[in-house]
Structure 1
Amino acid sequence: MRTCGILGGMGPEATIDLMRRIVAHTRAQDDADHVHCLVDNNPQVPSRIKVLLEGGTVSPGPCMAAMGRGLEAQGADFLCIACNTAHNWRDEVARAVNIPVLDMIALAAAEAARRAPKARAGSLASPAVRLTGLYEAPCRGQGLEPVFADEAEEARLLGVIRAIKAGRTGDDVRADLKRVVENVLNKGAGVLIAACTELGVIGVEAPVPVVDAADALAAAIVLEGAGPDALKRPGA
């Protein structure tokens, strides 16, 4: 068993959702079969959206790097970041520690390519993900063509994300998400990537394969922490 250190709190509900996914992906007969996780559920990480979209000047990088160092000092053998947008500072975390940092973006792109080779990959994420090109190179490297929602629908999706962070997951929020999904599907998406960990809290429904980045990360954590025999495949 190897210990996973999770940089969380971005947001807290998404971090809890990732933990549920890790448990769900684990083939276990008893407590000791699960991956040992150290979680820094820190909601005080400076806002990623504020820096990338609103002209904020306080980078989350130093805080995330300090979280990584703390988790390593507590015994983590590898790290992960439970937030897509925060992967803009993944390299800063990696430079601050002497242990591997899993790449949720690359993992999600690889899973999307496995599920729908050579497809157009619709990214469901905050505008910051598109503007920073976070998924562009990983998707194209896997033979996928990234597509995004129209500007108005992307703004609607940011509203969905903010609603989930505020604990609102009712029918109106789900209806808004459905509208965004339809917009991306109309652009020819043959696979969807839920590229915001908040979306996993309510789930994404579509007539094409849906890859939740948090789910791809959870599976990788089980593989890294407990080995291939511990990974429960879908439907198993």
Structure 2
Amino acid sequence: MSTSRINSLITQNRILSQARSRARSQSSQIGKILNSAANSKDGLLDAIKKDAAANKNSGLSDADIASKKNYTAMKEAAESLKEHTKKLLLWPDKEWDSMTEEEIAKYKEDAIKEVTNLVTDYNTIIKSLSSESSRTNDIYLKQLKGYFKNAQSDLESLGITQKEDGTLAVDEEKLKKADAQQIKKVLGSSNSFVDDIGKRTDNIIANAETSLAIINKKLYTGNYSYNKEGNDIFDILASGSKYNVKR
């Protein structure tokens, strides 16, 4: 038998083994759900929901669960930050000269709230990127820190400073005392710090979604079984390899 034919059989055998493993697991799980439903006053739908919640991380290592938590937080924070940046860049919707004192005061009040929330989301992203070391995450982390450095003087004039770990701190009293037009110039204009980080959010969201997809895929991979001696006959035919027993 040719090597290519053997390799084809190996692949087919593994796919079939994985499918059987998943089928056995699913059959067992369905039995548990039906049994739970029979003993529950809320019925089958409630049992399915409870099972899904209880097993959403089943099959993941502790490291994968931690990464899933980090990337979920990263994604949600980036989505939220994106909305805050949009508001700060669009506000106010009138020219300064045509705004009343009350309108300017309202803009300033709303802008300060958005900045505070933006910093919270920004810090979550920084912490999540720092926790999940990878080339892509390191690039985004460096870029975000760099955006602050580019506008450091102006940001610090409003009471926004950067800590050693890259997260930001806000001196709310100093920010409240700032001129409304200065807030708009530093935090709501084109090519500002807010504009820069807002443009990066889509990349961070996509990165988090990709990482979550990879982690979640592990939930659906089947286990490949070997015989009690730990030998896989197909791999022996191909290369003589032996594996430890997997139960």
TM-score by length of 2: 0.25
More helix by share: 2
More strand by share: 1
